[in-house]
Structure 1
Amino acid sequence: MHDSVPAYGLWSLVIINSAVFIIFAFSFFKPQTKRDWRSFGAFSAFLVALFTEMYGFPLTIYLLSGWLQSRYPNVDWFSHDAGHLLEELFGWRANPHFGPFHILSFIFIGGGFVLISAGWKVLYEAQSRRALATTGIYGYVRHPQYVGFVLVMFGFLLQWPTLLTLAMFPILVFMYVRLARIEERETLAEFGPEYERYMREVPAFIPRLSTLASGPRQDAAGRH
């Protein structure tokens, strides 16, 4: 059975989906500094590249079509559902939108946006007092918003992996780590021993299991 609706070349959907998710992320992140705009711009570029392949032109499928067709001859690789590569490669033959990778992707994407939003709220309140952020998500990790961006991108990779976004992902992760280190040097220069203590108590990106179980220390202090 063939669907008469085209799977690709839907450039209006590329524009609409890119705009919706970029505006959605903007409402959570609210970039202010040049560094904020740089990190947000890189994230936006990732989304545009993703939706271009999802609805515009399937570059990854095109480049891998020979290998994919030889290994999986019964799959119409230029159908939209086949773009969910992980579901297809691991044999999920039902609707890919209900597949395990797709569902898991929503967990990562949703969790990432929650981290970005929670981080911004605490950071904004702290900056208005010209103080370190000392509550909430900053008691678990020092850079929750960067972690949030990485989780969102990883979620989209699970849902719709492409060669371009797979190449961009480690570069963007490296960029966020580098930006985090620059911020830490600046914060150390401003807050000194207070931030040094916080760095010893709270990990940069991955929370400790003991903290997840018992909750953060109430006197923890940190920054975006």
Structure 2
Amino acid sequence: MTHDVPAYGLWMLVILNSAIFLMFAFSFFKPQTARDWRTFGAFSAFIIALFVEMYGFPLSIYLLSGWLQTKYPGLDLLSHNSGHLWSTLLGEKGDPHFGPLHIASYVFLGFGFYLLSSAWNVLYHAQRHSALAISGPYARIRHPQYVAFVLVLLGFLLQWPTLLTLAMFPILLIMYGRLAVTEEAEMCKKFGAEFDAYAVRTPRFFPKLGASSQPEHPM
């Protein structure tokens, strides 16, 4: 096996890709409160860990190298394509960048960032008027921003799973779930019956199929 073009040790790519995605997410999310910064910080840790393994040092490949070489004796562990472990494990042939999982990951990433942008726009105007955000994506679910972050994380996991990010993912799910509950307690205290009515008709994370919550006071 030859490696004329190095797949790892590309630390400038680690920095560049991490910066691009974090700035992109920051421009949509625009954290303001301490809770917002915790949400964004956890997301940032996931992104950095991902790109460190994607272009810096393949820790997961290194730890799994013995098993991978036994099960896939012809696999070039130091090639970039080998990092797309789902493709390897599922026995996909050809370039993994054109495989169904990779294409699905782009759908998750695109919709996640779109949802994040749409939700922030509604939330920004609601906060300016000291009102409850109940229009746009908030008419379908109560926490579209947290759902958006999860969709982006899922998109990256479909592209490039690592042991660290797979371990971080359920922790982030729990964290976002707890933040959502805390946020709802604050909104209930602030808006009272208006939030209670909104919570009754609007699911927390999973929208009702074929139905939407209609806001009483459009923003």
Separation in 2, partners of 1:87, 1:216: 39
Q: CA deviation at 1:133?
A: 1.1
Separation in 2, partners of 1:216, 1:49: 37
* Structure 1 residues 45-84: aligned runs within 5 Å: 45-84=45-84
Whether the 8 Å contact between 1:138 and 1:220 is mirrored in structure 2 is no
Separation in 2, partners of 1:140, 1:218: 10
- CA-to-partner distance for each residue in 1:5-24, whole Å, 9 max, x for gaps? 10100111000000000000
Whether the 8 Å contact between 2:134 and 2:198 is mirrored in structure 1 is no
Q: CA deviation at 1:91?
A: 1.5
Separation in 1, partners of 2:38, 2:126: 22
State percent identity of aligned pairs: 61
Q: CA deviation at 1:33?
A: 0.6
Is 1:147 the equivalent of 2:147?
yes
- CA-to-partner distance for each residue in 1:144-166, whole Å, 9 max, x for gaps? 00000001001100000000000
Aligned to 1:169: 169
Say which SS state the counterpart of residue 55 (structure 1) adopts.
Answer: helix
Deviation >3 Å, runs of 4+? none
- CA-to-partner distance for each residue in 1:22-63, whole Å, 9 max, x for gaps? 000001101111110110011001000000000000000000
CA RMSD of aligned residues (A): 1.5
Say which SS state the counterpart of residue 77 (structure 1) adopts.
Answer: coil
* Structure 1 residues 14-93: aligned runs within 5 Å: 14-93=14-93
Say which SS state the counterpart of residue 124 (structure 1) adopts.
Answer: helix
Whether the 8 Å contact between 1:102 and 1:158 is mirrored in structure 2 is yes
Whether the 8 Å contact between 1:116 and 1:144 is mirrored in structure 2 is yes
Counterpart of 1:147, as a letter, is V
Aligned to 1:109: 109
Aligned to 2:120: 120
Q: CA deviation at 1:64?
A: 0.5
Whether the 8 Å contact between 1:119 and 1:145 is mirrored in structure 2 is yes
Counterpart of 2:90, as a letter, is F
- CA-to-partner distance for each residue in 1:165-205, whole Å, 9 max, x for gaps? 00000001111110110000000001111101111100000
Is 1:134 the equivalent of 2:134?
yes
TM-score (norm 2): 0.96
Separation in 2, partners of 1:14, 1:30: 23
Separation in 2, partners of 1:73, 1:200: 56
- CA-to-partner distance for each residue in 1:49-93, whole Å, 9 max, x for gaps? 000000000000000011111111111122111100011111222
Q: CA deviation at 1:135?
A: 1.1
Separation in 2, partners of 1:63, 1:81: 17
Whether the 8 Å contact between 2:201 and 2:213 is mirrored in structure 1 is no
Aligned to 1:194: 194
Whether the 8 Å contact between 1:198 and 1:220 is mirrored in structure 2 is no
Separation in 2, partners of 1:217, 1:131: 16
Q: CA deviation at 1:219?
A: 2.3
Counterpart of 2:129, as a letter, is R
Separation in 2, partners of 1:205, 1:152: 15
Is 1:217 the equivalent of 2:206?
no
Give the paired residue count. 219
Q: CA deviation at 1:3?
A: 4.2
